[in-house]
Amino acid sequence: MNVEREKRAGSRLNATLVFTGLTGLLTFLWPTRNGVWQQWMFLVHTAQGLGATALLAIYLNSHFRRAFALRRPGLAFSGIVAAIVSLAFIVTGIDIAFFGQTEAHRATYWLHIICGCAALLALLFHMLHHWLAWPSRRENMRPGLFAVDPLTTRWMGRNALLCAGVVALGSTAYALLPSPYIDAAAIQPYDLSKYGPHPFEPSKNTTASGGFYDARRLGGSAECGVCHADIYREWRASIHSKAGEDRAYQTNVNLLATKKGIEATRYCEGCHAPVAIMSGQLSKGGRLNTFGHLEEGVGCLGCHAIDKVNSTAGVASYTVRPPSPYLFGGYDNPVARAVNHYLVRLNPSVHRSEMARASLPKSELCSVCHAQFMEKVMNDWGWVKMQDDYTAWLNGPFSGQSKHTFARGDVSRCQDCHFPLTAAADPSANEQGLVRSHLALGANTAIPYIDHDARHMRDTTEFLQSNKMTVSIDKPSRDDAVRNDRHVQPDITHLGESLSYYYLGEEATINIVVANVGVGHDFPGGTSDINEAWVRFVATDAQGQIIYESGAVGPSGDVEPNAYFYRSLPVDKAGALVWRHDLFRMVGDSFKKVIEPGASDVVTYRLKIPAWAKSPMNLYAVLCYRKLNAHYAKWALKDEHIELPIVDMASDSLKLPLREKSEVVARDFGP
């Protein structure tokens, strides 16, 4: 390449670098604003950067070969430094252009900014050095230290027109495109006659606009899975994903629609199917098996689009604001979708701020659905408090906001237990490669069992058995225990504990302590009316013969009715048991037994030791848990033969000697 051609290449390069720097400065100053023109500017900057990379490679190849022949070491050194810094700037830019920005490599972006500034300074220094090193050429230069030649000026003008033209035309054309969303109720006319002017009552959710949103604005979790594949797979297996399609829930919500009309199902759908309720599907003529139920349930935006927690009282007490869309969001065209996904990767700062809102890491977020009450408009009776895992957590030792605070210095949020950090190959992973698990493990063993999801079932079982509850058999002691009838010295008679044994034929009292040591809320939590937790206690002799048993499961799958249960028994206004979980009939509980976080419960059994029992007596106690009691499960799942799994959450055992009591024989000592 001759000097003239190199000069023209340098003019094109200089002009491109100037406008690459200017567009880069604009994207740096407005990184978190998602206006249309800013997004077009990001695309223009990326294209200019790639163009500048090609021009720089061509120019450096020619310039270095010619410059080294001049044998000016100082000038060559400043040029090499400028080239190295520029290459670092280009490499980081290419990395961002092709791979986007990730949480773990966010430093790449800042390195790109720093290298850009350093490259500018290095180039200016090299140009100054060049000006000082060639005094004979200064006389032929235009006035000014770094006068711009006409060729460079023309290329700068062309770049300015191209940049401004693409941004202006792109923004204008995009503004003329019809919106892919129709933010109106899916069912027309939408019935507001039953529960007043608020479109979502009796659910307590609201929207930032005050109206409805297109289902595609709030759904489409599969789109999130394009980039967040591991998180999406976990969510798809989770109870959140199945919240609307769960067979038991579908039975209950259809029962509610039958009894009180589909409008009443808004009470449930605010938590179980937020897409369905906020897109206006729950009015006369609507259905309960739509995309919002069967595909989404509580999707990604079911949590990430919550802009405000309206109240910790529950029943979907939140305000939703859909995230600001990137260009072509919502369009089905493959090219439009590709550009949309590329922009998210290229400039994730907006996506990051929209998906990590202030309420997301707080336990208050969980309260919007994991707390519940019923009003007169639903039960025709009055206000009734129902499940409330949030308040139970708040009053317990894990919140750091209760009377237990002095005993615990740390705070465990709902998210720490149910969304723990886990390894994943995900763009949102931190520097250790960790993200929040979206399997949302809890106590629902029914759904993974019905879905034949062995991994989810295994993980849920391990979660339930991870020392959250403990069971211990209190070792009995006797005041009448006799060890020896021989005299021993008093200083060697101290014993750490008294003997534990029973005589054949006497009544034994066995105390079992069940403690909630790791559940952040009451145990059992959630739907304690259909969940089933109980103590199974068995006493056998040395030959395995049963002396006493409580909590056995019969052939029909029902637990014996006299077992010691942890559950609630809701009743209607006539005093009848509300066993179908049709809580719109509930006015209170006839029985409720739970264990508060950090508390324990003592279960006492009394049994007669039979004369035939062989020593030792073996005691075994286990805390059993089953999601859905057998009676409800058969009705809700429409399967008379369903046998849902029972998980042994904690257990303890103890051996006790059995003795024969010697008869007391009177002796005649005589005179």
452, exposed or middle or buried, with CB in 10 Å at 0-12, 13-18, 19+? exposed
Section 166-190 average pLDDT: 93
Q: Which residue has the higher pLDDT, 149 or 506?
A: 506
Tracing tokens 């979907």 back to the chain, one arrives at 316
Residue 390: per-residue pLDDT: 96
Tell me how far CA of residue 555 lies from CA of 544, 559, 632, in angstroms. Answer: 21, 9, 16
- For residue 82, is pLDDT > 90? no
**pLDDT mean across residues, the chain:** 88
Among 74-83, 429-438, 604-613, 659-668, the range scoring the smallest mean pLDDT is 659-668
Q: Which residue has the higher pLDDT, 78 or 480?
A: 78
| Digit-coded pLDDT (tens) for 155-165 | 777 777 888 88
Beta bridge partners of 320: 207, 306
Q: Which residue has the higher pLDDT, 224 or 500?
A: 224
Compute, in degrees rounded to 10, the torsion defined by CA atoms 207, 294, 184, 182. Answer: 110
For 134, which DSSP code? -
The string of DSSP letters for 272-315 reads: H-HHHHHTT--STT--SSSHIIIIISS-HHHHHTEEEE--TT-S
Residue 482: per-residue pLDDT: 52
CA angle 618, 620, 622 (to 5 degrees): 180
Select from 569, 294, 388, 337 the least CA-distant residue to 345: 337
For 404, which DSSP code? G
CA angle 412, 414, 420 (to 5 degrees): 80
Tracing tokens 């493959």 back to the chain, one arrives at 334
d(CA 18, CA 306): 42
Question: Is 302:220 a contact under the CB 8 Å cutoff?
Answer: no
Residue 439: per-residue pLDDT: 95
Residue 81: per-residue pLDDT: 83
| Digit-coded pLDDT (tens) for 184-235 | 999 999 999 999 999 999 999 999 999 999 999 998 899 999 999 999 999 9
Question: Is 558:630 a contact under the CB 8 Å cutoff?
Answer: yes
Question: Is 366:359 a contact under the CB 8 Å cutoff?
Answer: no
Tell me how far CA of residue 618 lies from CA of 547, 548, 609, in angstroms. Answer: 9, 10, 12
CA 128 from centre of chain: 56
Residue 162: per-residue pLDDT: 82
Section 59-82 average pLDDT: 70
Confidence of residue 668 (pLDDT cuts 50, 70, 90): low
Under CATH, domain 467-480+498-659 is a member of which superfamily?
Immunoglobulins (2.60.40.10)
- For residue 142, is pLDDT > 60? no
Residue 304: per-residue pLDDT: 96
Section 427-453 average pLDDT: 94
Residue 117: per-residue pLDDT: 85
- Burial 626-636, CB ≥16 within 10 A → b, else e: bbbbbebbbbb
Residue 490: per-residue pLDDT: 55
d(CA 46, CA 346): 9
pTM (2 d.p.)? 0.86
Beta bridge partners of 515: 470, 600
The string of DSSP letters for 226-278 reads: TT-HHHHHHHHHSTTTTTTT-HHHHHHHHHHHHHH-GGGGHHHHHHH-HHHHH
Residue 144: per-residue pLDDT: 44
Residue 145: per-residue pLDDT: 40
- Domain boundary assignment for the chain: 3-176, 206-373, 467-480+498-659
Q: Which residue has the higher pLDDT, 407 or 275?
A: 275
Section 446-466 average pLDDT: 96
